[in-house]
Amino acid sequence: MNTKLKVSEISKIYPGCIANDKVSLEFISGKIYALLGENGAGKSTLVKILSGVVKPDQGEVFLNNESIKLNSPLDAKKNNIGMVFQHFNLFETLSVFENLSIDSDKKDEDLRILVNDILKKYNFKIDLDIPVLNLSAGQKQKVEIIRCLIRNPKVLIMDEPTSVLTEQETDDLFISLKQFSKDGILIIYITHKLKEVLSLCDEVAVMRKGKVVSVSNTIDEKIESLANKMVGESLNTIKKKINNFKNSEEILKISNLNFKSDDPYETNLNDLNLSLKKGECLGIAGISGNGQNELFQILSGEIITEGTSIMFRNKEISKLNPRERREYLMAFSPEDRISQAAVPELKIFENVALNNFKSSNFFEKGLVNEKKIKEHAKKILSNFSVNTDNVELKSQFLSGGNLQKLIIGRELITSPELLVCFNPTWGLDVGAINYIHETLIKINEQGKSSILISTDNDELLKLSDRICVIYKGKLSKIIDADSVTAEKLGILMGGGSID
C-alpha cells in the first residue's frame, strides 16, 4: 500500500523569527523527496514538527488521509515515522545494541535476530557490541537508520545526512536510500547540497525564510535553477582573474618539512617543500585524512617540528608559536569552527578577543578593556556582513555561515600577509559559501597571499592560482590552475601520477 504524508498550513513562530509560515506539502511513497533550503530556511523546524520534537502553532499533519497528532517523539514512532537527525541522537557510551534496544519492546534475542537480518539485507557492517563512540560518523548514521528500520517505518526522514560523511560513505548511503524507497518507504531528504538533490531525489521542494517557494520534478531542474530558487536572487558566478606571479616577490618558503607522529590516528608528513608568492592562492587538494590536519597545524604553529625551515617574509618562523606567527602577520582559519576556531560558550566579542595582539591593547595592566574589544568586534560584524550586530550574543547561537564569517573577519581585520584556511566553507549554505569565496578572492586582489587546504575540488578550482595534492603525507608537484582539471585532480588524489 502506498503511504501518503501531507502537511497542511503548518506555522511555527519563534520569538523574532517565523520558522514555518503556512507550509503545505504532499509526499507519496515510491519517490524520494528533497526538502531544499539554506540554513535557517525552516527545514529543520518542519522536520522537528514531523518527528514530534516541536509542536506547531498551527496546521495539521495527515498520514494516509487521517489527521495525526504528533505531540511527542513517541507519537511519531507510533505512526511509523522514522527520523535520522543531523546531530546524531545516539548514546555514545552505550553499545550499538544497547542503543537499538533502548526503545524497542522486543526481547533482546528477537531484536538481535531482526537487527542481523537488516544488517545482512542492506549489507551494513557494524559490530553490535562495541560502544558507539568507537564508530565512524558513517557507521553512527547507519545505527540511526537501523534504529528506524526495526520499527518498520512508513516514512523515513533524513536531516542533512551527508554533512558528516566521506564521499564513499555518501555513495553507500544513496544506494541504501534508493533500496528503502523501492521497499516502499517514503523518503524525505533534507539538504542544502544541490548536487545531491539532482543525483538522488525525484521531487524537490524549496524553502526560503519559512515558506515553500517551489515544488518541482528534479528532471526539470539544474544546479543553477535550484540555487537561484534557494537563495532567492540570481547568484553572480564568481570568476577569478588569472594573474601572473612570475615577477612577484616570494613570501613563504617551506623546505624539508617532515613530521613523524606516535599517534596511530595521525598521518606522517614526508619531505614537503613549497613556496608561495605575494598575492597568490595555493590550493592543497586531497581526500581528508591524508595529512591536511597535520600540515595545517604545522603551518599555524600548533605543532613545532624539528629540522623544518619555514621562511616567511624573509624570517625563519618555524619555531614560533601561533600567537607569535599572528604577530608576524599570518592568519589561520582552522577546519573545525566550533572546537578549534571559536569557543561556542563565549560571547562574540570574547571570541574576538582571543586573537589578541600586542598592538590591539585589548588588555591593559591585566584587565580586560571591554569597550575596545566590543568596538573591534562591531567592526568585524559590519565589515564581514555577519547577520547580527549584538556582540554580547553567545557564539553558539550563530549559524555556521555567520560563525565562519566572524572567524574569517577576526583573522582578516588585522590585514595579514598570509591566510591559511582549512575547509572554510564546510557545511555552509550557498549564500555563505559565495560570500567566503568572494572574500578570499578579494584578499588575493589586494596582494595578500593565501593557502587553501580543502577537500572540495570545485572550490579549489575556483579560487586557486596553483594547486597541488596531498596524498599519504606527500605533496604532488604543483600545477597551474589553468592547466588543471577535475580529472587530473582525481587521479592525484587517488595516489596516481600525471605528467
Partner 1 sequence: MSFDLNFIGILIGAIMASSVPLILAASGELITERSGVLNLGVEGMMIIGAISGFALMVVTDNLFFAVIGSMFSGLIISLIFGLLTQSLLTNHVATGLALTIFGIGMSAMIGKNFVGIPGKEFPLLFLNLKESIPFLGPIFFGHSIILYFAFGLPFLTNYFLKKTKTGLIIRAVGDSPTSASNQGINVTLVRYSCILYGGAMCGLAGAYLSLIYTPQWIENMTGGRGWIALALVVFATWSPIKVLIGALIFGGITILQLHMQAVGLRIPVQLLSALPYIMTIIVLVVISRDSRKIKLNTPTSLGQIFYKEK
Q: Could you list the residues that contact partner 1 (CB under 8 A)?
A: 48, 51, 53-55, 72-74, 77, 85, 88-94, 98, 101-103, 131, 133
Cell numbers placing 41: 530556511
Q: Which is nearer to partner 1, 49 or 481 (CB)?
A: 49
Give min distance, CB of 428 to partner 1, in A.
24
Give min distance, CB of 89 to partner 1, in A.
4
- Cα torsion 139, 141, 142, 144 to 10°: value is 130
187-196 burial, b at 16+ Cβ within 10 Å, e below that, comes to bbbbbbbbeb
Q: Which is nearer to partner 1, 110 or 224 (CB)?
A: 110
Give min distance, CB of 49 to partner 1, in A.
11
346-380 burial, b at 16+ Cβ within 10 Å, e below that, comes to ebbbbbbbebbeeebebeeeeeebeebbbebbbeb
Give min distance, CB of 27 to partner 1, in A.
22
Closest CA to 440 of 427, 456, 428, 452: 452
By the 8 A CB rule, do 478 and 468 touch?
A: yes
DSSP character string of 161-176: GGGG--HHHHHHHHHH
- Alpha carbons 328 and 286: distance in angstroms, whole number: 29
Q: Which is nearer to partner 1, 28 or 133 (CB)?
A: 133
Give min distance, CB of 341 to partner 1, in A.
24
254 - beta bridge partners?
274, 310
Q: How far apart are the first and last CA of the chain?
A: 57
Give min distance, CB of 258 to partner 1, in A.
30
The DSSP H or E segment spanning 81 is: strand 81-84
Q: Which is nearer to partner 1, 399 or 414 (CB)?
A: 399
Give min distance, CB of 112 to partner 1, in A.
15
- Alpha carbons 185 and 241: distance in angstroms, whole number: 49
Residue 473: φ, ψ to 5° = 80, 5
- Give the count of beta carbons closer than 10 Å to the beta carbon of residue 158: 27
Give min distance, CB of 17 to partner 1, in A.
15
Q: Which is nearer to partner 1, 72 or 321 (CB)?
A: 72
Q: Which is nearer to partner 1, 85 or 426 (CB)?
A: 85
Give min distance, CB of 132 to partner 1, in A.
9
DSSP character string of 292-339: HHHHHHHHHTSS--TT-EEEETTEE-TT--HHHHHHTTEEEE-S-III
Q: Which is nearer to partner 1, 74 or 354 (CB)?
A: 74
Q: Which is nearer to partner 1, 88 or 245 (CB)?
A: 88
Q: Which is nearer to partner 1, 54 or 406 (CB)?
A: 54
